Chain A
Amino acid sequence: MKRRLPFVIVILVALLTLVSGVVLHRAKRPPVLTIPKEQIASAANSTESIHVRGNPDAPVTLEEFGDFQCPPCGKLAGAIAQLEHDYHPRLRVIFRNFPLVTHAHARDAALAAEAAGLQGRFWEMHDLLYREQSVWSKAENARALFNAYAGILGLNIERFEKDMAGDKAQARVKSDQQRGATLGVQNTPTIFLNDRALPPTDLNPDSLRGAVDAAAKNVKSS
């Protein structure tokens, strides 16, 4: 019996590893999120003002729920902007704020983008925040940097500061977060292509381009 015991232990551990791996995979596998028809954002007829880049009437919509302090979002930001450029006028990009509580400055960054948006420079601040993510993320006083960014973009800084603390910007962030929560968003980035969320494994520049390309071709052929 003693000679067989190590074989039994090793086989048991192998089985246990396999089973726990499968169980964990099932538990961690994100659900497939979809946007119900009545909730699909329409830039043309919308009563809410949303941040759209590209042709507002484009047949393909990429809607991102992002957090300015999330490193994967930062890595994808450039790729998404490039896609919008390459697939113009068939693609429009919508950005929704979804600041995570685990990121100390994410909410302030979202408010900074919204405050810039109130002066018509949302996307410029969006791009700047992602480009400088590694700098302000580690800063103790991120707000001071956001003010500096507002200055770089030529915004009225006094108004920018007021807007960051104001109800309008707060309400916009809250409304984006509520939409995300309604759709089942939990992590960032979560990207919907038309009405369907892309699986997390597709959230890299190459897979994203492939998915957009397929969606654009699909629209062409139909």
Chain B
Amino acid sequence: MTRSRFRTALYAVAAFVSLVGLAEATYLTVIYLTGATAVCGGSASCFEVLGSKYARIAGIPIAAFGTVAYFSAFSFATFAAFGYPRARTFFALMVGAMFGFTLWLLFVQAFLLHAFCRYCLFSAAMIFLLAGIVAASPPSD
């Protein structure tokens, strides 16, 4: 496989992973807007995390920011897969920001709330995957 094909394949995978993250973040945003509490089922720690003050910034749910971030990542990955060189830089910057924020959220869950939410962990896994893709993508020719 040539370097350019490998890169295209990587960004196609990144676009798909971003799409999965986008679906999850959209779902959580909508659930927040409807005010449903059943989203956590019987999990008290999930409620504790999603109902905490850290789950909102200026009254806006973090999931809504996640929706925007995942959509941006998806768009940049798609353009990168089609060979737009600047999109690769934007994608790397976006994923870097998401990665940093995810580390903060994991810190909050582990050390401040002492509770983990499965949705947040799933999203963290998606972002780690995206970060892995950024790290694995070959440098520009």
Which residues of A approach B to under 8 Å, CB–CB? 2-3, 5-6, 9-10, 13-14, 17, 20-21, 24-25, 28-30, 69-72, 75, 100, 102-104, 134, 137, 186-188, 199-203
Contacts and interface: CB of A to CB of B under 8 A. Distances in A.
Given A17-B67, A104-B42, A29 B34 contact: yes
A103 B42 contact: yes
Contact of A5 (B30, B71, B82): B82
Instruction: Name A's interface SS.
Output: helix
Given A24-B27, A199-B35, A6 B84 contact: yes
Given A6-B82, A24-B26, 18 more contacts: A10-B75, A10-B78, A13-B19, A13-B71, A13-B74, A24-B27, A25-B30, A28-B36, A30-B34, A70-B37, A71-B47, A102-B41, A102-B42, A103-B42, A134-B44, A188-B37, A201-B33, A203-B37
A203 B51 contact: no
B24 to A, nearest CB: 12
21 contacts: A3-B82, A5-B82, A6-B79, A10-B74, A13-B22, A13-B75, A14-B71, A17-B71, A21-B26, A21-B30, A30-B34, A71-B47, A72-B37, A72-B47, A102-B42, A104-B42, A187-B36, A187-B38, A199-B35, A201-B35, A203-B37
Given A10-B75, A28-B31, A17 B22 contact: yes
Contact of B78 (A3, A9, A70, A201): A9
Contacts of A29: 34
B29 interface: yes
A2 B82 contact: yes
Interface string B33-74: 111111011101001100100000000000000010001001
B67 to A, nearest CB: 7
B117 to A, nearest CB: 12
